[in-house]
A and B are shown apart, each in its own frame.
Chain A
Amino acid sequence: MSGTEVKPRATPPEGPSRSQSVLREIASGNALAGVLAVFLAVVVGSLMIAITDEEVRASASYVFARPGDFFQASWDAIWGAYTALFRGAVYNDRVDDFATQIRPLTETLKFAGPLIAAGLGVGLAFRASLFNIGGRGQMLLAGAAAGWVSFTFDLPMVVHLPLAIFAGMLAGALWAGLAGLLKARTGAHEVIVTIMLNYVGYYLVFFALSRQGLLQAPGSANPKSAPAHDSAILPKILGDRFNLHLGFVLALVAVALVWWLLNRSTLGYRIRAVGENPDAARAAGINVGRTYTVVMLIAGALVGLAGANQVLGTVTSGVTTDLDAGIGFDAITVALLGRSKPLGILGAGLLFGAFKAGGFAMQASEGIPVDIVLVVQSLIVLFIAAPPLVRAIFRLPAKEAK
């Protein structure tokens, strides 16, 4: 009988693994938590601005003699920094011409476009309980594919531009779908696979950009491709005075489509079911593995849209390995802050677009290092990822135990 030994279970089986439930809590925390995290990050950011400011430090040396100076200097530094951020990101009141006044806002929107698209890609995967860390690799592959189409063919714009965008989305989809397929077939953890595919993707693109006959511009020795043909470049939507291009509109369309997918389609229903309770989904006849693969394909296509957006809109002078501009990772923050919901991601993408646009202005006009903005962004993630910390700071009630 030894082979057929079946032991009675004294304890019930564990629920979904702890790491999954923590991830779910982080990715689906309530809106208040997001707002509080941003608030806390700004407060801590203010402290850092004050500490790094020359005048503040000078006045700190005689703070007990004249505390007023110290507080005045601190206030000036912080106020100056955040108003500069605002001027750089939304509205510049220091110039007369209206177009120049609202130029910062259009810059924000331009930066927000790819952040929103890639944020949707990460957020959609979150909804299926998948952690897509592979945004960078997916963007690079997508950018390379879109770039190749953009400088290789000579076609009318109505064909060429959609084809280039499609190529980018397809490349992103396949690169992410690979991770989904590996997870579905072998159980390989998507976090590890997507991280590793970032490296594979980076060096693959780097290699192609360094070889004549592959992606490298003819006659060049730099790891850079030829510039995109005009017929494949995303048109500027507010005229040539502004850099804002069609990519932002495409991102808005993506928000609407993903919203419909998640809330109104049966595929989205199944994605959510698999994300919330894969056991119940399986028992209900939903193929969990196939759903993982499909989710990653769509997620990769969305990140791919961000990659195409960069190559065909923001930097059209040729594909380089810098094309992702950190968006692949910022997208994770955007998705977290947006609670993996399309409209939340739209809001978070706009906020981060503003940080990007305003960060440069802050450095230029106030001499505050742009790194402060990065610190604030990182702190937002930190506070979102530590819900008990935020709850403790604001004395919010803990989640009811069942």
Chain B
Amino acid sequence: MKLVLRDITKRFGSLVANDRISLEVLPGEVHCLLGENGAGKSTLMNVLYGLYRADEGEIVLDDVVQHFSGPGDAMAAGIGMVHQHFMLIPVFTVTENVMLGNEATGFAGTLDLDAARERVREISSRFGFHVDPDAIVEDLPVGVQQRVEIIKALSRDAEVLVFDEPTAVLTPQETDELMDIMRQLKEAGKAIVFITHKLREVRAVADRITVIRRGAVVGEAEPTATNAELAALMVGRPVELTVHKDAPQLGDDALVVRDLRVVDALGQVHLDGISFTIKAGEVLAVAGVQGNGQTQLTEALLGLQDHVEGSITLDGKELVGRSVRKVLDAGVGFIPEDRQTDGLVGSFSIAENLMLNRSFRSPFVRRGALRRDALETFAEQKLQDYDVRAPDIHTHAGKLSGGNQQKVVVARELSRDLRLLVAAQPTRGVDVGSIEFIHKQVIATRDSGIPVLVVSTELDEVVALADRIMVLYRGQVVGIVPGDTPRETLGLMMTGERPKDVVA
């Protein structure tokens, strides 16, 4: 089935999210939609999927103009969507999830599970998915859950498949498997739209590439284009993709973690006796698939976790058992993994956010009152230093783009007197231009002699920043390896396997 989007325009108030975007996807082709977060990719796909109605333009399937008033219409027309966040019910079986919304029913509304199970089995074997129809979805690894989503789309005879940032939650190995699946689907004659901002994946699988920026198509590219060319198209200017850094000037052991064990309120063990050391002037990057204890590690360092055993010492001072405020006062800077939840107050101005963890003492406080002049001068300065693109310092942080929000967080943390920087997913959901900036800041922090702990699920980021890499799997350290360890080895370690030549 051939999909044509013609001059799609979608406005939200004064914001033009999609500006006359045209796109053509042929059967048996993978068409990559490349663009930064906020470029309008997801809006376009939501228009295609019937979730939004386009203000102008039309959707044409096999020369027939379509009018979708909801996802049901889109599905019926043969469009299937694999969402970034899976739309699955965790406690249902694979079969139940696949039939959800499209239940085959027998006499008096009884579910025809057998037919559905057979359908799952048939699709699964046709594409070599290896999915058990009776497995409970929450017991399956993320990569397999994603295949369930694909089966769900295929079971409704989707001819156009949309993958919306599908690799965000996958290990490198799972990503490779997904690439294979996409090639298979292509061979089976499906038209595939692949949305991503990861250049490596684009070049691995795309037949055609359309780059969008600020809601408009800025160009098409061949899969043979270099990363630098693609990145420049995406951002609109040349971008440095690699971080220039000199060899680290190592100092003494600064952060020493011994036998750290974190248990949550339900008794689930998230970190099971991990130990590591970071020297002054060193970046230790923590790699691993999301959900293997990284969140708990950073929270334990900050004092945000309640049940922590073991010891965390910074410059010889014990941090376990201290309140968050005392930990911050000890000089720990924290860039949280979810800035909107833990890093910023969306309804506060940029200036107010810049003093969020300094509301107890000078320079912004005098005898219980806010020193607004000092704060405003400081905020104006930081806005400039950190290149935060905002109308002024009174703009609500929630109204900024992801990259600019993150710059506000980085500005706040780096302008304190730090003895350790903990950066969790410092560039998640951040545009390429800001990634470049934030990475430079992290390296500059390291070079000023401060130990840095970076947590990232993006292997690119880990490799770019790390002096040493620690891989976490199910709450345990698989190994701590040098920063130049090959990706394949790291990928393997992320699945819990310890290669022979690696010592923990």
Contact = CB atoms under 8 A, between A and B. Distances in A.
B131 interface: no
A280 B346 CA distance: 10
A284 B343 CA distance: 8
Given A10-B85, A283-B334, A400-B13, A276 B141 contact: no
* Category for how many chain B residues contact A: 35 or more
B235 interface: no
Given A4-B272, A10-B145, A285-B357, A280 B324 contact: no
Contacts of B13: 397, 400
A27 to B, nearest CB: 12
A283 B342 contact: yes
B86 A269 contact: no
Interface in B71-86: 85-86
A303 to B, nearest CB: 23
Contact of B474 (A1, A269, A281, A397): A1
B314 to A, nearest CB: 16
Interface in A258-288: 264-267, 269-270, 272-273, 276-277, 279-287
Contacts of B338: 12-13
A247 to B, nearest CB: 27
A273 B343 CA distance: 11
Contacts of A277: 341, 344-347
Contact of A280 (B344, B370, B476): B344
Contacts of B359: 266, 269-270, 273, 284, 286
Interface in B254-268: 268
Identify the interface centre among A4, A5, A12: most chain B CB within 10 Å of its CB.
Answer: A4
Contacts of B40: none
Interface stretch (B241-249, B287-295, B480-488): B287-295
A279 B342 contact: yes
A8 interface: yes
Contacts of B345: 272-273, 276-277, 280-281
Contact of A283 (B85, B324, B352): B324
A178 to B, nearest CB: 24
Contacts of B178: none
A8 B291 contact: yes
A169 to B, nearest CB: 20
Contacts of A401: 12
Nearest to B336: A283
A9 interface: yes
A269 B352 CA distance: 8
A7 interface: yes
Contacts of A265: 368-370
Contacts of B145: 10
Interface string B132-172: 00000010011001000000000000000000000001000
B88 interface: yes
Identify the interface centre among B138, B272, B292, B347: most chain A CB within 10 Å of its CB.
Answer: B347
Contacts of B329: 285
Given A6-B291, A287-B323, A272 B342 contact: no
Identify the interface centre among B304, B323, B369: most chain A CB within 10 Å of its CB.
Answer: B369
A30 B125 CA distance: 57
B370 A264 contact: yes
A3 interface: yes
B166 to A, nearest CB: 12
Contacts of B336: 283
B5 interface: no
A186 interface: no
A3 B267 CA distance: 9
A17 interface: no
A286 B292 CA distance: 28
B348 A11 contact: no
Contacts of B378: none
Given A266-B369, A280-B341, A285-B328, A8 B356 contact: no
A4 B142 contact: no
A5 B476 CA distance: 11
Interface string B357-372: 1011000010011101
B325 interface: yes
Interface in B283-329: 289-293, 302, 304, 323-325, 327-329
Nearest to B344: A280
A15 interface: yes
Contacts of B270: 6
B269 interface: yes
Interface residues of A, number: 35
B88 A276 contact: no
Interface string B441-472: 00000000000000000000000000000000
A270 B361 CA distance: 13
A6 to B, nearest CB: 5
B475 interface: yes
Given A273-B348, A285-B323, A286-B359, A8 B369 contact: no
A272 B88 CA distance: 37
Interface in B23-82: none
Contacts of A6: 268-270, 291-293, 474-475
Given A266-B368, A276-B348, A279-B342, A10 B142 contact: yes
B475 A7 contact: no
Contact of A8 (B12, B289, B344): B289
B324 A285 contact: yes
Interface in A101-119: none
A264 B373 CA distance: 12
A284 B142 CA distance: 32
Interface in A72-90: none
A287 B336 CA distance: 18
A158 to B, nearest CB: 28
Contacts of B474: 1, 4-6
Nearest to A14: B341
Interface in A328-386: none
A284 B88 contact: no
Given A272-B348, A280-B342, A8 B290 contact: yes
A192 B436 CA distance: 50
A276 B370 contact: no
A8 B323 contact: no
Contacts of A270: 359
A270 B357 CA distance: 10
Contacts of B88: 10
B141 A8 contact: yes
Nearest to A16: B341
A287 B323 CA distance: 9
A5 B475 CA distance: 8
A10 B343 contact: no
B278 to A, nearest CB: 21
Identify the interface centre among A15, A279, A285: most chain B CB within 10 Å of its CB.
Answer: A285
Contacts of B304: 282-283
A394 B157 CA distance: 44
A284 B357 contact: yes
Nearest to B292: A6
B64 to A, nearest CB: 30
A121 B136 CA distance: 50
Contacts of A7: 138, 291
Given A6-B268, A11-B85, A273 B356 contact: yes
Contacts of B302: 283
Given A4-B476, A8-B169, 15 more contacts: A4-B269, A5-B268, A6-B268, A8-B142, A10-B90, A10-B169, A13-B338, A264-B369, A266-B359, A269-B359, A273-B359, A276-B345, A276-B347, A280-B342, A282-B324
15 contacts: A4-B474, A4-B476, A6-B269, A6-B292, A6-B293, A8-B141, A10-B90, A267-B368, A269-B370, A277-B347, A283-B302, A283-B343, A284-B356, A285-B323, A401-B12
Interface of A: 1, 3-13, 15, 264-267, 269-270, 272-273, 276-277, 279-287, 397, 400-401
Task: Give the 7 A-B CB pairs with smallest separation, nearest first.
Answer: A285-B325, A8-B291, A284-B357, A284-B356, A283-B342, A277-B345, A285-B324
